[in-house]
A and B are shown apart, each in its own frame.
Chain A
Amino acid sequence: MSINQTIYIPLFAVSVIFFCYSCYQRLQLISLGADENRSDRPIERLAGMFSYAFGQKRVVKRPFGINHFVLFWAFMFLLLANGEFLIEGLFPSVSLALLPDPLHHVLAFIFDMVSLLALVAVVVALSRRLLFPPSYLSNEYTSARSGEGLLILAMIAFLMIAFFLLHGALIGLGDSAAYRPISAIFASLLAGQSTAALQSSATIAWWVHAVVLLVFINLLPRSKHMHILTAIPNTYLRSLDKPNIIPRESFAKGKRFGVGVVEQFSWKDLLDSLTCTECGRCQDLCPAYNTDKPLNPRRIVHDIKANLLQNGPALKNGEGKTLPMIDLAQNEGTCSEEALWACTTCGACVNVCPVLIEQMPKIVKMRRHLVQEKSEFPEELLNLFENMEQRSNPWGIAPSDRGKWSTQLGERPFEADKTEYLFFVGCAGAFDTRAKQVSVAVATIMDLAGVSWGMLGKEELCCGDSLRRLGNEYVFDKMAKQNVEMFIEKGVRKVVTACPHCFSTLKNDYRQYGLELQVIHHSELIETLITGNKLKLPKTTDMGKLLFHDSCYLGRHNEIYDTPRNLIKAATGSKPAEFERNRENGFCCGAGGGRMWMEELNGSRINQNRVAEALKQKPDTLCVSCPYCMTMMEDGLKELNAPGVQVKDVAEVVAEALRL
């Protein structure tokens, strides 16, 4: 078999040039984005890249991901085989056959087997798409590109079949069959053909393989299969911070705030948008999407890409944009305001994405624009913003009432030299009737265990969590600075909080203000007290069937899953029952991201969705670890008319076991 190089060389050259040009165009689009440093801590980045990209850590968390794992590694091996194939076309004398025999034979065997695996994986993937697609795979806006998915799979199948046919024919022409068992089967299919027929079979197979391969390569940068090129770098360039930590903004005149046009996203956001292959896992877990809100995290990422592709060329030339990034209505390339306000910042999307796309931070960035540059937000937030700014709590209750919940505990001021822990009670713990009971439980437990603790009382300020998630970074910034200054002034080092939102904000967000505190959630403190024998539970308490609901800000955002479960085990004698969706797949109560203070006007209610899931298990007690979850679960139980179920904070469960 000989290849007509006068046809192949120009074809190859044009393909390579066009591929490079496409990649260059995409890179130029990405470079329109704002600066962001993603090159720090290279060792950690490399380690993550190996486990997320090469180890396919998140991909294989779902059973079907194993199929992708096979395809990924088949691609890795066949990169070498196809490289050889393309080069051999240019220089027929250059091939892996130049390698010493044993090595060459091993490679030939591997390529043959791996190609079979790839072919099987493609057939499985095609069947899944066509015969048993999961609910989240496609929806009305991805259907425009579902043909793309089929085409790519079909091309891979063609490549594999052409590979086997080529080598089958070559075996018929005298190549050794020993190291190519699958090709040998194809050779037996061709057996009996004349040499000339085998020659032309080989030539045809070679050309089919070559053309499909070159077209395939050129499709990548121009389709959602760009992830084949960008997923690996995307995992290297991932955010090393907690999922909801977005860079601070500097408030100086003439600056722009948040993201209102596509080039205000960071280059990494834009790379994310080109990396998304629309697998739909984020959509599958999103509490807003699952309750028929107009938000779909996958769609947000797609709209950023569509906007970039449409506006990018004009932006590169310094011309204005034509397609708005945010508008009242949702169109391809434009996110609707309603969708942006539907996010609970639960972090499920960020946590599940196999290629570490950061969906939720993009939503918050756009909220920053709406609040700070346009003053456009759901009207119920006006009160929240004013209350926060004027009275430093979401309800607008007089700050002087902050200490009232603890009058029976006596004066418990925090003093740097005398008290070990600052008990940061939080707005809910200080003002919300139900959450106040949890504060009392936490305080009582700490006293029983002899913990040295104090509070800021009237001086305590709101941590600003809701403001930051809602995009009111300007006011959050002021509140954070005030708090940080006060903590430093008072010599605070160790903080215990009864609210995962205060916990996460003090622990992670305030780090951006140079404050390194040792912050623990009350469940962590109690666990340490029990394991350190400072707190002895005299008996176990029977709370019936107890179901534990994960708080997003404790669980996904801070990876504390076992601690509250261990406490429940210690207090009740048995592990809690689990929701169907638990731990990292836990379903939000609906109150995060400032949604606590907003009306839920679209679709069904998130808290009812969660409570309905709980009621399927007929629990007696719903155990939570967050005051927001407490409110949402109690409301949901009332709304679904399930009066027999009680909601308890994990501290109350422990307190129950301590009651003599």
Chain B
Amino acid sequence: MLVISCIKQVPDTTQVQIDPETNTLIREGIPFIVNPYDTHALEEGLSLKDRFGLRPVALSMGPPNAEATLRKACALGVDDAILLSDRCFGGADTLATSRVLASAIEKLAEQEELGIVFCGKQTIDGDTAQVGPGIASRLGLQQLTLVDRIVHLDLEKKRIRVRRKLEGRHEIVEAPLPVMITVVRELNRPRYPTVPMRLEAEDVMVKTWDNSVLGLDVETVGLKGSPTWVSKIFSPERDQGEIIGDGINDPEGTANLLIEKLLSKDLLAI
């Protein structure tokens, strides 16, 4: 049974700066990382391999250099890694992205029974949290979002029970397989690749599927298939801050100053 983890290569957003002229991200020299939430999606797929013998596959849509992300997944132990890359996929919004991913998952499911699709709850660059649910609706899968624990997986009855982490409460829900799950960081602790696995992964052939494999209508993918686009990116203006007191030599006095200041602005309730 297949367990597919969707992972995305994202720029390390702590290092991204915005070009004030063009309002776009300056990506030169910025290292790419695996979207942090996706590392938990990947880990869950791997742990289901360890516990139930499911076959973990990593799936990513992106430019050719996103291969590095999939290679990392290989070093962690996925059975297969597939990069969905084609010029016509470029510039996609969440709708067009989920179409391509859904189509690839459908194709994989033709050969082997699909169990679970894991996605991170959102990416740190787009922050939309739409792609996972988008895949589920394109494929007609049950969707369980914001999962922080797999409570029970019954492969015979093909049912899964999970815990969702919501604001101020947890929710236990159950669904039949196949299912799409988006995960939060509390779900697991991602493993660290061993050196032998890393060395193995250096020579692994990451499969690349372009649109000739998927055969999607080019009008429905990439920029052309995207009803939304980013018109402007900017950093919100903030009031100039100020440094008060001398926190190193007089922490107590500084803390008092800070409290007074907050009280005077009515930002603290006593």
Give the interface of A toward B (CB within 8 A).
251-253, 257, 371-375, 377, 379, 382, 385, 390-391, 396-400, 433-434, 437, 474
Give the interface of B toward A (CB within 8 A).
12, 14-15, 17, 31, 33, 189-196, 198-200, 203, 248
Q: Which of B12, B189, B196, B203 contacts A390 (CB 8 A)?
A: B12
Q: Which of A371, A375, A399 contacts B191 (CB 8 A)?
A: A375
Structural contact, B198 and A398, CB atoms closer than 8 A? no
Min C-beta distance of B193 to chain A, whole Å = 7
Structural contact, B196 and A373, CB atoms closer than 8 A? yes
Cα–Cα distance between A375 and B192 once the two chains are bound (Å): 6
| CB contact under 8 A between A398 and B195, given known A253-B200, A379-B189, A382-B190 | no
Cα–Cα distance between A223 and B17 once the two chains are bound (Å): 67
Nearest-neighbor residue (CB-CB) of A372 within chain B: B195
| CB contact under 8 A between A398 and B189, given known A253-B200, A373-B195, A390-B31 | no
Cα–Cα distance between A257 and B17 once the two chains are bound (Å): 40
Q: Which of A251, A375, A399 contacts B15 (CB 8 A)?
A: A399
Min C-beta distance of A247 to chain B, whole Å = 16
Cα–Cα distance between A374 and B197 once the two chains are bound (Å): 10
Cα–Cα distance between A437 and B246 once the two chains are bound (Å): 13
The residue among A251, A377, A434, A437 with the most chain B CB atoms within 10 A of its own CB is: A251
Structural contact, A382 and B189, CB atoms closer than 8 A? yes
Cα–Cα distance between A396 and B200 once the two chains are bound (Å): 27
Q: Which of B12, B192, B194, B199 contacts A385 (CB 8 A)?
A: B192
Min C-beta distance of A464 to chain B, whole Å = 15
Q: Which residues from A are CB-within-8-Å of B31?
A: 390-391
Structural contact, B199 and A252, CB atoms closer than 8 A? yes
Cα–Cα distance between A379 and B192 once the two chains are bound (Å): 10
Q: Which residues from B are CB-within-8-Å of A373?
A: 194-196
Min C-beta distance of B102 to chain A, whole Å = 30
| CB contact under 8 A between A253 and B199, given known A398-B14, A399-B15 | yes
Min C-beta distance of A250 to chain B, whole Å = 11
Cα–Cα distance between A379 and B191 once the two chains are bound (Å): 10
Nearest-neighbor residue (CB-CB) of A434 within chain B: B248
Structural contact, A398 and B191, CB atoms closer than 8 A? no
Q: Which of B192, B196, B203 contacts A382 (CB 8 A)?
A: B192
Structural contact, A372 and B194, CB atoms closer than 8 A? yes
Name 12 extra pairs, CB < 8 A, besides A253-B199, A434-B248: A251-B195, A253-B200, A257-B195, A373-B194, A375-B192, A390-B12, A391-B12, A396-B14, A398-B15, A399-B15, A400-B15, A433-B248
Nearest-neighbor residue (CB-CB) of B199 within chain A: A253
Q: Which residues from A are CB-within-8-Å of B190?
A: 382
- Interchain residue pairs with CB less than 8 A apart (23): A251-B199, A253-B196, A253-B199, A372-B194, A372-B196, A373-B195, A373-B196, A375-B192, A377-B192, A382-B189, A382-B190, A390-B12, A391-B12, A391-B14, A391-B15, A391-B31, A396-B14, A397-B14, A398-B12, A400-B15, A434-B248, A474-B195, A474-B198
Nearest-neighbor residue (CB-CB) of B192 within chain A: A375
Q: Which residues from A are CB-within-8-Å of B14?
A: 391, 396-398
Q: Which residues from A are CB-within-8-Å of B248?
A: 433-434, 437
Min C-beta distance of A326 to chain B, whole Å = 15
Min C-beta distance of B87 to chain A, whole Å = 29
Q: Which residues from A are CB-within-8-Å of B199?
A: 251-253
Min C-beta distance of A240 to chain B, whole Å = 28
Q: Which residues from B are CB-within-8-Å of A251?
A: 195, 199
Q: Which residues from A are CB-within-8-Å of B193?
A: 375
Cα–Cα distance between A474 and B17 once the two chains are bound (Å): 31
Min C-beta distance of B266 to chain A, whole Å = 30
Cα–Cα distance between A251 and B201 once the two chains are bound (Å): 13
The residue among B14, B192, B248 with the most chain A CB atoms within 10 A of its own CB is: B192
Q: Which residues from B are CB-within-8-Å of A253?
A: 196, 199-200, 203
Q: Which residues from B are CB-within-8-Å of A371?
A: 192
Cα–Cα distance between A384 and B198 once the two chains are bound (Å): 18
Q: Which residues from A are CB-within-8-Å of B200?
A: 253
Cα–Cα distance between A434 and B196 once the two chains are bound (Å): 40
Nearest-neighbor residue (CB-CB) of B13 within chain A: A398
Nearest-neighbor residue (CB-CB) of B196 within chain A: A373
Min C-beta distance of A540 to chain B, whole Å = 22
Cα–Cα distance between A390 and B35 once the two chains are bound (Å): 12
The residue among B15, B191, B200 with the most chain A CB atoms within 10 A of its own CB is: B15
Q: Which residues from A are CB-within-8-Å of B12?
A: 390-391, 398
Cα–Cα distance between A279 and B248 once the two chains are bound (Å): 46
Cα–Cα distance between A385 and B33 once the two chains are bound (Å): 14
Cα–Cα distance between A382 and B193 once the two chains are bound (Å): 11
Cα–Cα distance between A150 and B196 once the two chains are bound (Å): 49
Min C-beta distance of B14 to chain A, whole Å = 4
Nearest-neighbor residue (CB-CB) of A474 within chain B: B195
Structural contact, B194 and A375, CB atoms closer than 8 A? yes
| CB contact under 8 A between A374 and B194, given known A251-B199, A382-B189 | yes
Nearest-neighbor residue (CB-CB) of A386 within chain B: B192
Cα–Cα distance between A391 and B14 once the two chains are bound (Å): 10
Cα–Cα distance between A257 and B194 once the two chains are bound (Å): 10
Cα–Cα distance between A617 and B189 once the two chains are bound (Å): 46
Nearest-neighbor residue (CB-CB) of A257 within chain B: B195
Cα–Cα distance between A385 and B195 once the two chains are bound (Å): 13
Cα–Cα distance between A434 and B33 once the two chains are bound (Å): 30
Q: Which residues from A are CB-within-8-Å of B191?
A: 375
Cα–Cα distance between A452 and B200 once the two chains are bound (Å): 47
Q: Which residues from A are CB-within-8-Å of B17?
A: 400
Nearest-neighbor residue (CB-CB) of A399 within chain B: B15
Nearest-neighbor residue (CB-CB) of B36 within chain A: A386
Min C-beta distance of B184 to chain A, whole Å = 17
The residue among B12, B190, B191 with the most chain A CB atoms within 10 A of its own CB is: B12
Min C-beta distance of B10 to chain A, whole Å = 12
Nearest-neighbor residue (CB-CB) of B200 within chain A: A253
Q: Which residues from B are CB-within-8-Å of A434?
A: 248
Q: Which residues from B are CB-within-8-Å of A400?
A: 15, 17
The residue among B12, B193, B196, B248 with the most chain A CB atoms within 10 A of its own CB is: B196
Cα–Cα distance between A375 and B197 once the two chains are bound (Å): 11
Min C-beta distance of B34 to chain A, whole Å = 10
Q: Which residues from A are CB-within-8-Å of B203?
A: 253
Nearest-neighbor residue (CB-CB) of B193 within chain A: A375
Q: Which residues from A are CB-within-8-Å of B195?
A: 251, 257, 372-373, 474
Q: Which residues from A are CB-within-8-Å of B194?
A: 372-375
Cα–Cα distance between A398 and B14 once the two chains are bound (Å): 6
Cα–Cα distance between A444 and B15 once the two chains are bound (Å): 29
Cα–Cα distance between A377 and B31 once the two chains are bound (Å): 26
Q: Which residues from A are CB-within-8-Å of B189?
A: 379, 382
Cα–Cα distance between A206 and B194 once the two chains are bound (Å): 64
Cα–Cα distance between A257 and B190 once the two chains are bound (Å): 22
Min C-beta distance of A370 to chain B, whole Å = 10
Min C-beta distance of A657 to chain B, whole Å = 19
Q: Which residues from A are CB-within-8-Å of B33?
A: 390
Min C-beta distance of A373 to chain B, whole Å = 6
**Among all A-B residue pairs, the 5 with the closest Cβ atoms:** A372-B195, A398-B14, A375-B192, A398-B15, A474-B195
Nearest-neighbor residue (CB-CB) of B247 within chain A: A433
The residue among A372, A396, A437 with the most chain B CB atoms within 10 A of its own CB is: A372
Cα–Cα distance between A391 and B30 once the two chains are bound (Å): 10
Min C-beta distance of A632 to chain B, whole Å = 17
Q: Which residues from A are CB-within-8-Å of B192?
A: 371, 375, 377, 382, 385
Min C-beta distance of A397 to chain B, whole Å = 8
Q: Which residues from B are CB-within-8-Å of A379?
A: 189
Cα–Cα distance between A434 and B199 once the two chains are bound (Å): 40
Cα–Cα distance between A391 and B195 once the two chains are bound (Å): 20
Min C-beta distance of A599 to chain B, whole Å = 15
Q: Which residues from B are CB-within-8-Å of A396?
A: 14
Cα–Cα distance between A374 and B12 once the two chains are bound (Å): 28
